[in-house]
Structure 1
Amino acid sequence: MMEMQTLNLPFEKNKMSLNASEARLSAMTRKTFLSMWSYENPFYKRGKELCDVLVVCGNDVIIISDKLNAFGDHPDAKVNWKRWYKKAIDASIRQLCGARNQLKRDPGKVYINAQVSSPLPLRLPSIDQMRIHLIAVANGCEEPCLKLFGRSSITINTQIKDSSEIFSVGTLTDDGDFIHIVGTKALDAIFQCFDTTRDFIDYLNRKKEALLREHWIIDGEENLVALYMMSQRGDRPFSIPLHAIPIEKDIRVVKGDKWLTYLGGAAHAYRQESNAREMSYFIDHLIEGVVEDYTSERMIIGQNQSISYHEQAFRMLASESRVSRQLLVQALMDIYLESTNTFWCNIAESIDEPSLYYLWLLYPPAPMEWQIEKLEAHLLNELTKYMIVCRSKFPNARRIFGICLPNRDCNHTSQIYRVIDGEKWTDEMQEAANKYEQVENILAETQEITLIAAR
């Protein structure tokens, strides 16, 4: 079992000044990947920056290079394009390939400050398990592209590798690795639509798989994002809808009008108006709140644990898609208005990771004379009981993530987290589960489906 009462973040975030483009990218990556997994301007040696943003979440490693370069004023647009391409795209590709090689060569030498005194607090996956995603953000050519083509986004053409075609980019590095080259508008669309780690990485993987199979020309990646988002109303999984993308002269073509169609359509309106989607951000705030509580020195227990220890557990929650987070929060809302003078519990299985169960436990006001240490020990004990009975009720649960929060009338703010490995089940634990259910009436009426239970 892992006890998750607090979170230890023994590091200082790099405080380098950011230009407008980097600041914008930083805000988007923090919102999608959250603070524990997203790091701006890491270094691999003193004064040597690795990339602009590094995201580490399990075996997935996202490396982002962001370049902002003014487009030239030469009379020949092709000359300006080649010069801009060299500064904005070639430079990013070199940085990304260098960062990729550095991580594979020496993953232990990644730091979050220029003085290389603060190592990356997360443990990188082994080389054979590492899934690297390269993203080059190229800003600065929107206005001349708009003047020439009537759209502000660069074209993706999977058959090119250099600057030979004006305002067009390929998908492969010189050594054959797949790379996502995106402009300002496409980047905005991607982060607008994929604001969880899982949704973001799912899109990158499905895009890569589709584009490697055949010749594509995409007039602005935001239009591919639009087709992806319109592939269904909001239930996973999304897909690259090949049936909706025509083939012209053996080329899969995505025209430049899909993004506006999506923004004005029912699929986008449904997501914008969805109360469940808005409530799902409670999960994001919950995770970020744990980080904030630690950095504000409001934690009581667990400061002796490393960030890697805690990250393993919270990664489960952070890896849930937006739709899954909606359903998880709904399970919490189902008990939120119940009586506040007792414990209330609800259990939900992840739709993204079958056999991963989440257990919400709302606790009532405690005696005013209790010290916080006594309160948290009591809450941890109660949460453990509920989780053990949950495992007995749902024997297919490989992992159970327990979250104990104050109910709406409680004057305490303590939050307790715990993870149980459901595969490590003993006769003694089964006996304890039987006792808690029969004697203390914990989850006594919960059947084979997720139900609300009170005691």
Structure 2
Amino acid sequence: MKENQEPSIWEEISSTAAIATDSERYLAKLAKRAFLNFWSYSNPYTDEGKGKELCDFMVVFGNDVLIFSDKHCEFPKHKDIKVSWHRWYRSAIKKSADQLIGAASFLERFSTRIYIDSNCKIPLPVPLPPPSARRVHLIAVTRGSAKAAKKFWGNGSSSSLFINTTIKELGNKDHPFMIGGPLYKKRFVHILDELTLDVLLAELDTVSDFVNYLTKKEEYLSNTDLMVAGEEELLAAYLSNPIPEYAGFSFPQLPRSKDLPFINEGGWNRLHRSRAYLLWKEKIALSYEWDRLIEHQTSHIQRGTAGILHKHDADFKDMHVHEVVLRKMAEEGRLARQSIAESYEVLLLKEFVNNGENRFFRVLVVPSRSKRAYVLLVLIRMPDQEYDEYREARIESLTAYCRAIRLRIAGIEEIVGVASDQKSSPISTQDFLYMEFGKEFSQEEKDKELALLRSLGIWKETWVCV
């Protein structure tokens, strides 16, 4: 960067130099890996005074806003553990919760006054969702208590903070290493420590999976008196209770009892060491190729070399167009990403057979999103074909296949298309397309569309128009 030249928006987003502490840098690394770079912002600022830090990390993804506060405080030494706990609670948990409440309040009142640089010259590249649709999640990351907690609980404790919803206002000096009722100043605040931050962001490493967990946890703990031996045990209970038909997970119903229900320690270790867990990790390994595809396209956006086609007429360099199509891809949870990545990999590895067919494609509708279709295409480049000519033909083919799917599958309201070279190709590029449909075709429109697709050699006579 030249002297006195303003940094680009992507240099500001990607830079970790301005992150104040090792703890915040670690949070940013974990969170960006889970939530991906396009939607992740370290240390955003407000224009109060000469620029004031809003929070330590923020994710803006569709209608969801995740606000993180990170505090690493040494656990005080005192002969009375209740005194030590109360002092640490005030400096770590309460201070984080207060920062989060303040950030959420500012966001509600002044959503256009948030920037990604301390000089307040670069606004958020992704606009905040409107207040009527906005869902804000507050996450306090509090570090420094693990060693003291492990000693206090003994017996091989994991060191994570207990959850006890009968304690009010998050914490009480008479209950060391316990987090109380999640409502603080009428807002739900998620409290994570150095163990449970790693666990949650490793297991729920997509925005969809993470937000689903937070949302269901907020409802679960707001309506139930419960004690849990750490956030990781709550997560284990959640992951051990899958919903049929790949619809995600839910928290188990608690037995009716006069005693306070208690999710004991050990569930997470049993799950983590189980054969089912190891098989699950093997099963989803390929899903990270979908993450890498999104991040690869983001890197092109950073360099100004990306092109995305949206409704056939959008400016290829329009930031909103880039964000929409990549967000649609990133909306999928880990299981859906695995399904899409498997189909994409099959196409990429297909061998060309000289029978006149040079296009391979697949169509997917994942169970969790019945109104969205994915069209994946690999077009073979002919030996005598210029690459620009090939790329143009590939975009035309992708567009046509996407239009055909609207006629073949009932109820589809949006289509995401991805086209690529074969994996063995010496050049590797991708084309991305997003289509959304506002109204049904009339019969006359269907006939015209069919005629066009037949003229392009796309529509097969064995296909049925719905």
TM-score for the superposition, normalised by structure 1:
0.89
Instruction: Please tell me whether residue 230 in structure 1 is matched to residue 230 in structure 2.
Output: no
Instruction: Please tell me whether residue 284 in structure 1 is matched to residue 291 in structure 2.
Output: yes
Query: For the structure 1 residues 355 and 174, does the alpha-carbon distance in structure 2 shift closer, same or farther, using more than 3 Å as the test?
Result: closer
Equivalent of 1:396 in 384, 406, 411: 411
Match of 2:211 in 1: 201
Matches within 5 A, 1:198-277: 198-232=208-242, 235-242=246-253, 245=254, 249-274=258-283, 277=284
CA contact (8 A) 1:228 1:239 kept: yes
Quote the Cα distance in structure 1 between the aligned partners of 2:277 and 2:137: 27
CA contact (8 A) 1:41 1:49 kept: yes
Instruction: Please tell me whether residue 381 in structure 1 is matched to residue 381 in structure 2.
Output: no
Matches within 5 A, 1:14-25: 14=15, 15-25=17-27
Unaligned runs of 5+ in 2: 1-7, 309-313
CA contact (8 A) 1:11 1:121 kept: no
Match of 1:4 in 2: none
For 1:240-287, what per-residue CA distance to the aligned partner results, in whole angstroms no more than 9, with x for missing partners? 122xx556634221111111111122331221222xx11111110111
Q: Which moved more, 1:399-408 or 1:248-257?
A: 248-257
Q: How large is the RMSD of aligned CA atoms in angstroms?
A: 2.5
Instruction: Please tell me whether residue 90 in structure 1 is matched to residue 94 in structure 2.
Output: yes
Q: Which moved more, 1:89-98 or 1:24-33?
A: 24-33
Shift of 1:432: 4.9
Query: For the structure 1 residues 445 and 81, does the alpha-carbon distance in structure 2 shift closer, same or farther, using more than 3 Å as the test?
Result: farther
SS state of the match for residue 227, structure 1?
helix
Instruction: Please tell me whether residue 80 in structure 1 is matched to residue 84 in structure 2.
Output: yes
Query: For the structure 1 residues 344 and 63, does the alpha-carbon distance in structure 2 shift closer, same or farther, using more than 3 Å as the test?
Result: same
Match of 1:452 in 2: none
For 1:310-346, what per-residue CA distance to the aligned partner results, in whole angstroms no more than 9, with x for missing partners? 2122211101011111111222234334343611110
Instruction: Please tell me whether residue 418 in structure 1 is matched to residue 410 in structure 2.
Output: no
Code of the residue aligned with 2:21 in structure 1: it is: N
Shift of 1:303: 7.4
CA contact (8 A) 1:61 1:130 kept: yes
Query: For the structure 1 residues 48 and 173, does the alpha-carbon distance in structure 2 shift closer, same or farther, using more than 3 Å as the test?
Result: farther
Shift of 1:388: 1.0
Quote the Cα distance in structure 1 between the aligned partners of 2:381 and 2:426: 6
Query: For the structure 1 residues 57 and 102, does the alpha-carbon distance in structure 2 shift closer, same or farther, using more than 3 Å as the test?
Result: same
For 1:53-87, what per-residue CA distance to the aligned partner results, in whole angstroms no more than 9, with x for missing partners? 11111111111111100001112111111111111
Q: Which moved more, 1:124-133 or 1:158-167?
A: 158-167
Code of the residue aligned with 2:29 in structure 1: it is: A
Instruction: Please tell me whether residue 148 in structure 1 is matched to residue 149 in structure 2.
Output: no
TM-score for the superposition, normalised by structure 2:
0.87
CA contact (8 A) 2:307 2:316 kept: no
SS state of the match for residue 178, structure 1?
strand
**Which gives a bigger RCO, structure 1 or 2 (Cα 8 Å, sep 6+)?**
1
Equivalent of 1:103 in 79, 84, 107: 107
Match of 2:4 in 1: none
SS state of the match for residue 190, structure 2?
strand
Query: For the structure 1 residues 379 and 87, does the alpha-carbon distance in structure 2 shift closer, same or farther, using more than 3 Å as the test?
Result: same
For 1:1-59, what per-residue CA distance to the aligned partner results, in whole angstroms no more than 9, with x for missing partners? xxxxxxx9666325313422212211111111111111111011233111111111111
SS state of the match for residue 342, structure 2?
helix
Match of 2:36 in 1: 34
Match of 2:371 in 1: 355
SS state of the match for residue 166, structure 1?
coil
Quote the Cα distance in structure 2 between the aligned partners of 1:371 and 1:272: 38
Code of the residue aligned with 1:255 in structure 2: it is: N
Query: For the structure 1 residues 441 and 306, does the alpha-carbon distance in structure 2 shift closer, same or farther, using more than 3 Å as the test?
Result: closer
Q: Which moved more, 1:246-255 or 1:393-402?
A: 246-255
CA contact (8 A) 1:145 1:167 kept: yes
Q: Which moved more, 1:247-256 or 1:211-220?
A: 247-256
Quote the Cα distance in structure 2 between the aligned partners of 1:369 and 1:444: 25
Match of 2:5 in 1: none
For 1:207-239, what per-residue CA distance to the aligned partner results, in whole angstroms no more than 9, with x for missing partners? 111111110111111001111112239933211
Query: For the structure 1 residues 195 and 10, does the alpha-carbon distance in structure 2 shift closer, same or farther, using more than 3 Å as the test?
Result: closer
SS state of the match for residue 98, structure 1?
helix
Match of 2:192 in 1: 182
CA contact (8 A) 1:340 1:407 kept: no
Quote the Cα distance in structure 2 between the aligned partners of 1:10 and 1:192: 25
Code of the residue aligned with 1:358 in structure 2: it is: Y
CA contact (8 A) 2:243 2:249 kept: no
- Count of matched residue pairs: 437
Code of the residue aligned with 1:354 in structure 2: it is: S
Instruction: Please tell me whether residue 63 in structure 1 is matched to residue 67 in structure 2.
Output: yes
CA contact (8 A) 2:379 2:422 kept: yes
Quote the Cα distance in structure 2 between the aligned partners of 1:445 and 1:9: 49
SS state of the match for residue 428, structure 2?
coil
Unaligned runs of 5+ in 1: 1-7, 450-455
SS state of the match for residue 12, structure 1?
helix
